[in-house]
Amino acid sequence: MPTLFKDLASFYDELEAVSSHLKLREILVRFFKRLSASEVKITAYLTLGTIGPHYEKTELGIAEKMAIRAVCSACDVSKEKATKLLKQQGDLGGVAESLGGRGKNQLTIQQVYHTFLAVRDASGGGSQDKKIQLLTGILKSASPAEAKYIIRIALGKLRLGVADKSLLDAFAIAFTGSIDNKEMIEDSYNVCTDIGGLGEALAKKGIKATRQFDIALGRPVQSMLAQRVNEVPEILEKIPGEIAAEEKYDGERMQIHKDGARLIAFSRRLENISAQYPEIIEAARKSIKAKTTVLDGEVVAVKNGKIMPFQLLMQRRRKYNIEEYRVKIPTVIFLFDILYLNGESLLKRSYPERKKLLASTIRDSERVKLAGGVTSARIDVIQAFFEKSVKRGLEGIIAKSTGPESLYKPGKRGWAWIKWKKEYAQGMRETFDLAVVGSYAGKGSRKGRFGALLCAAYNKQNAQFETFTKVGSGFTEKDFVQLKKALHPLEARTKPKLVRIEKTMLPDTYYEPGLVIEVLGAEITDSPNHAAAKDVLKTGLALRFPRFIRIRKDKGPTDATTVKEIIALHKKKYKKPAR
């Protein structure tokens, strides 16, 4: 018998009421075990507040004003009344619940999901009215509790405190019988990047399902990531023998999939960004010799042959005026890896093998180039290449293993790749990518805007964001405008469930973790005021003298610097007496 949406709404009520990570996982396991395999797939998406994997079109195109119209029509109330209630409650889902739906709890999960798909796909003339009609129709069939969650999902504001990792842990217990299988399941997810599809397969086949996923055209894999070291000699300790040093570019990671004449470019966040970089797609079509392939690289802004800053490149991430900015900010992609070639996955091939295949697959052009590099076992050669790269205006280098263990591991941050940036070489500062989780009201010249941002690192073990620093310097007038615009949709009335903040650091405004900024800091110190690493070290860790560098639109919140990385840096380089 199909699972009713009222049961999903009750499940969401349970999740909303708990704060314990273990209790939340217990509730997830219990509910997913009762679902059919196809319902597992749908419920996984909906529980994350979406309707599909990241790489597909998942935006419903429902703005708050449109949702208000649907609520008013379904509940037969005036716009004035609904707007007044919204101002009081701050949650349109709560408004829909309080106005009372007329449904009789007969909606199924499948019905609601397919309505969302129809809303997403409505296009052309009158599409807004069509979307509102569809949303109104399903609301008329919904009970008050169901209406609350339908509206929250439609607006992308479900916010149950459930992350991808929470679902992966629950899948391990529910469908394989042991949390010990979570690493295998996470490895499969890093390759297939479709949490609903993975959940459905696990529900059908158990742990055997993890063997069926490999790289596929049109479905991006998670990017392999690099570790960092404190001193150049450490690179030789971590990577014995010959090292392949490649230029590190200050751009946006791009994964290109070519399937005949069809080319798609994906971002590090797994979004389809082909439309933003039409010149890269056109050039890649001519430069790639293979019929089918998947390539990994970095796209950068270039002017008069010089690589330009990352912030300039981010102006290319837009929906409108693409042709204008294509001319204004031209780009080049530097390719450094190949993951798939003419029907064969290369994930299990060593780096030297992949590099050789990459070179034979690409024809260098004005817009498509192979990453520059050098291979040597001598540290002085690596150091000289680093200095040459920095002089060219690059960030530094990526040192890569050339041994038999040098496989491409999607989503992994291992010692096969090590980054060495110019900031590290200066011997005084580190950069961190942190999620903004709060802000403090400004005073004096900053009255009416934020005075500082509360930023958090990501604790991958418990899928939480733990505060690490308060950033109050480095902002320009333009930064204030951009940050306000980016943070407004993420505002929360209460502390988000995925965020951990000590009482001494409570901000004036909370934000759902959604915006990542790069922060430069002088040192890491013990701090009772911050939550980062508190479970491990018994005291929190904080970043001293933080300075805002830039917004990282190319990174999602779970791409933030991890608590594990911070602890490692603290132990190696920054260990100070407690203050």
CA pseudo-torsion sign 541, 545, 549, 551: positive
∠ CA 533-537-542 to the nearest 5 degrees?
A: 50
Q: Which helix (H) or strand (E) holds 42?
A: helix 37-47
Q: Helices H, strands E: what count in the chain?
A: 22, 22
CA-to-CA distance for 549 and 311, rounded, in angstroms? 10
Residue showing tokens 């299988």: 181
CA-to-CA distance for 11 and 28, rounded, in angstroms? 8
Percent helix / strand / coil, the chain, rounded to 5: 45, 25, 35
Q: Count CB atoms within 10 A of the CB of residue 564.
A: 16
Closest CA to 343 of 380, 391, 287, 293: 293
Tokens, residue 496: 């988000």
Q: Which helix (H) or strand (E) holds 436?
A: strand 430-441
CA pseudo-torsion sign 229, 235, 239, 244: positive
Backbone angles phi, psi at 126, to 5 degrees: 75, 15
- Residue pair 274/218 in contact by the 8 Å Cβ criterion: no
- Residue pair 295/340 in contact by the 8 Å Cβ criterion: no
The DSSP bridge partners found for residue 421 are 396
H-only helix segments in 208-346: 233-238, 278-287, 310-313, 322-328
CA-to-CA distance for 193 and 188, rounded, in angstroms? 8
Burial readout 188-204 (b: 16 or more C-beta within 10 A, e: otherwise): bbbbbbbbbbbbbbbbe
CA-to-CA distance for 329 and 308, rounded, in angstroms? 9
Closest CA to 120 of 64, 66, 49, 61: 61
Question: Which amino acid, 288?
Answer: I
Closest CA to 287 of 359, 347, 219, 373: 359
41 is catalytic: no
Closest CA to 64 of 38, 33, 87: 87
- How many Cα atoms occupy the beta-carbon half-sphere of 5 within 13 Å? 28
The DSSP bridge pattern shows strands 464-471 and 499-500 to be parallel
CA-to-CA distance for 404 and 46, rounded, in angstroms? 41
Active site residue: 6, 148, 248, 421, which one? 248
How far is the CA of 292 from the CAs of 35, 212, 273, 340, in angstroms? Answer: 37, 20, 19, 8
Q: Which residues are catalytic?
A: 248
